[in-house]
Amino acid sequence: MTTTTTSTTSPPLRVGVVGLGWAGQQHMEAYHALDGVELVAIAGMEDGPRADLQKKFDVPNVYSDWKDLVAAGGLDAVSVAVPTFLHAPISIGALEAGLHVLCEKPIARTAEEAEGMVAAARASGRVLEIAFNHRRRGDVEALKAAIDDGTIGRPYHARATWLRRAGIPALGSWFTNREMAGGGPLIDLGVHVLDYALHLFGEPRVLAVSAVTHSELGPRGLGGAVSDKQQVGSAYEVEDLASLLLRLEGGGSIVLETSWAAYRSTGDEFGITLYGTDGGADLRVVDYAPSGELTIFRGNAEEEIDVSVEADPGRGHAAVVDTFLEQVADEASWAEHDGSLALGRARIIDAAYESARIGAEVRLDNDLTITDGEATR
């Protein structure tokens, strides 16, 4: 009797990247380094960088227009790493073409746009994942492990921040145009802070938001440089500092503060201070250090026990790409990965901007559901 063995090796996953900037290059690096994945197409408008990246990553197909990349076919998944106003149209177009999508943060300019993206993911039955890479830092993961182990008890309050002294991305660019960006540091940096704070708390529902925004330095041409990069000739139309109070289900609270420009210590600093029923924690990252200073506070009035935790740097975008590809490989779980978590973040940011506009607390409607590709409440 002869037994025939048939190879069950899966064909490589074929991926593309739309966007040639820093974020897009992080996706390209991650895909290029993996076995079982082929980076077969990139798209972007800049001729020089497109040619350089094609050569660096040995990409067979390049396009100036993302629509041509999608229409060419032959892809399983695509990363979207472009300015915020393009997230929704490109992601929806790719999903409707049957591609899985990994999109950069924030998911979109508004919750309404995000709802359209989630609806498209559900209608197509494909994965929509958003790149929240800061929760994949080693220090954030170490803090999350300590919380999950009960080291500080139940977290009940936090102050989470990302602050810059002079870090407006580029005066006059799409970043400072409200229509194109959706907002300033709150939607740009604050969405990362919101994500890692709620992640560390265990994803409680946010019941209400009270917020203020300030635009004091940017409109005067302070806090950033004029750059030729992505210039649209816009006046400064967004905030340069935002402060929020989030009321959480179960009585918890988070104060979130973020700035592109403010008179404070020099540099770029982000982190979180957590207060728990049996301890506390403080994480500080200065100027994008690979690993920040993480301290756990325990003990009582008689004995203070403060422990410095050494954490590995973590893998950032590489870990995000790994998780996305794991989701794509597990067809049975596709419906679970439809962008809903990022949509929730967008709804909180929308509520914050509305609270700042009207000068009052805004309560969130947490009853959003999406069925048959339609977003309803």
Question: Tens of pLDDT along the chain (377 residues)?
Answer: 334 343 456 789 999 999 999 999 999 999 999 999 999 999 999 999 999 999 999 999 999 999 999 999 999 999 999 999 999 999 999 999 999 999 999 999 999 999 999 999 999 999 999 999 999 999 999 999 999 999 999 999 999 999 999 999 999 999 999 999 999 999 999 999 999 999 999 999 999 999 999 999 999 999 998 776 678 888 999 999 999 999 999 999 999 999 999 999 999 999 999 999 999 999 999 999 999 999 999 988 778 899 999 999 999 999 999 999 999 999 999 999 999 999 999 999 999 999 999 999 999 986 544 333 344 44
The pTM for the full model equals: 0.93
Query: Residue 308: is it exposed, middle or buried by C-beta count within 10 angstroms (0-12/13-18/19+)?
Result: exposed
Give the Cα separation of 340 and 279 in Å (integer). 32
Please name the residues in contact with 356: beta carbons below 8 A apart, sequence gap of 6 or more: 211, 212, 213, 239, 242
Calculate the alpha carbon distances from 86 to 191, 320, 322 in Å: 17, 21, 24
Burial per residue of 254-275, b for 16 or more beta-carbon CB atoms within 10 angstroms, e otherwise: bebbbbbbbeeeeebbbbbbbb
Which CATH architecture describes the domain 134-315?
2-Layer Sandwich (3.30)
Closest residue by Cα to residue 59 from 71, 42, 76, 43: 42
What are the start-end ranges of the H helices in 8-86?
22-32, 47-57, 66-71
Delimiting residues of CATH 3.40.50.720 domain(s) in the chain? 13-133+318-376
| Sheet (strand 280-286) strand order | 304-309, 293-299, 280-286, 268-276, 155-164, 253-259, 241-248, 206-214, 362-363
Q: Is 296 helix (H, G, I), strand (E, B) or coil?
A: strand
What was the pLDDT predicted at 366?
62
What are the start-end ranges of the H helices in the chain?
22-32, 47-57, 66-71, 87-96, 111-124, 138-148, 178-181, 185-188, 190-201, 317-329, 340-358
What was the pLDDT predicted at 225?
83
Superfamily (CATH) of domain 13-133+318-376: NAD(P)-binding Rossmann-like Domain (3.40.50.720)
Q: Compute how many other C-beta atoms are within 10 angstroms of the C-beta atom of residue 141.
A: 17
Closest residue by Cα to residue 190 from 273, 249, 265, 255: 255
Q: Compute how many other C-beta atoms are within 10 angstroms of the C-beta atom of residue 175.
A: 26
Residue 125: how many CA atoms within 13 Å on its side-chain side? 3
Q: Residue 368 corresponds to which amino acid?
A: L
In degrees and rounded to multiples of 5, residue 104 shows phi and psi of -65, 160
Closest residue by Cα to residue 43 from 65, 23, 21, 28: 65
Query: What does the angle CA 118 – CA 119 – CA 122 come to, to the nearest 5 degrees?
Result: 85
Give the Cα separation of 188 and 181 in Å (integer). 8
Give the Cα separation of 9 and 11 in Å (integer). 7
Between helices 190-201 and 138-148, what is the axis angle to 10°? 30
Delimiting residues of CATH 3.30.360.10 domain(s) in the chain? 134-315
Q: Residue 100 corresponds to which amino acid?
A: H
* Stretch (H or E) spanning 287: none
145 neighbors 117 (Cβ within 8 angstroms): no
Please name the residues in contact with 228: beta carbons below 8 A apart, sequence gap of 6 or more: none
